[in-house]
Amino acid sequence: MQIRPLRLGHLLLPSNVLMAPLAGYTCYPFRMLAYEMGAGLCFTEMVSANALKYQDRATKRLLFTTEEEPIKAVQLLGGIPAVMEQMAASELLAEFSVLDINMGCPVPNVFKSGEGSALMLDRKRAAAIIRGCKKSGKIVTVKCRTGIQEDEMFTAEFARLCEAAGADMITIHGRSRSMMYDGRPYEREMELAKAAVSIPVIANGGIFSVEAAERMLSQTGADGVMIARYGLEHPFIFKELTGKACEKSPLEVVTEQIDLANRYYEETFVLAYIKKLASYMMKGRKGTKQYKERLHGSGSLAELREAVELIFGEGTG
């Protein structure tokens, strides 16, 4: 697999292996872990432009970052060009140099509201949103799908629209909206999109191993790959792909995530986040099933640490 720095606007990303924005997971601590492991770029969780407009407290928490984060990238969801333009240029996003526009979310309530993948059906509005966000001076990227229905895909055409509107990069989830998160990604659609534009194209979807990442790049000719759920299950995928040195054990990783999250978030958030992350990371590990109930029943950080030690300590795995 060809791992290399990736030019994105005025930035040079250290690698072309990216971490996807994942609701409920890609908070500040996890992004810092992914960067440490070798990810070239990590995005915040999906942030609603409408919620941001009304200063929603929970939404603002999604934007938490510090000076320690190497590159700050936010993903914005919205379907109203004026609101997207306003929020892209707002002080709330001032710290972020990269803004990704969500044009791929397949969830029914998002689609029905004219946001996410629904924008792929409204080319005029999609282009207006990209142009409006570009006025912020930020690097603007787009994450989309191969189309809406499996029998009618238009990936290359939509990629050209994004480039013409000013997008600096496009990430393609290789499934249609109707496929949701299942089924083999359409590598051919991503290959056609790559051939249709000159901006970087990132391939995403169905990457659950080093071999799958290598095959994805080989089949699509994409400029890089974006890891999603497998990054939660096996954060070490980034160092395995990039060759970055990191000798930490799973126990050290989870313990450091607890410490970092506890430094910046309230205890209830830390408990919820670590339980979700640990649940992903314990998949496939032998001898951990008996501790699952203890993990999810943890009501304090002390109990959480004890459960994590039992799951990821010596003698398990």
How far is it, in rounded angstroms, from Cα 277 to Cα 33?
A: 12
Sequence-ordered list of residues with C-beta below 8 angstroms from that of 35, at least 6 positions apart, any chain: 42, 69, 70, 71
Instruction: Exactly one of 27, 105, 133, 162 is catalytic; name it.
Output: 105
**Phi and psi for 149 in degrees, rounded to 5?**
-110, 150
- For the purposes of burial, counting CB atoms within 10 Å of the CB of 88, is it exposed (0-12), middle (13-18) or buried (19 or more)? buried
* First vs last C-alpha separation in the chain: 28
How far is it, in rounded angstroms, from Cα 127 to Cα 124?
A: 5
Tokens of 111: 């689609």
Q: Is 162 one of the catalytic residues?
A: no
Which active-site residues does the annotation give? 105
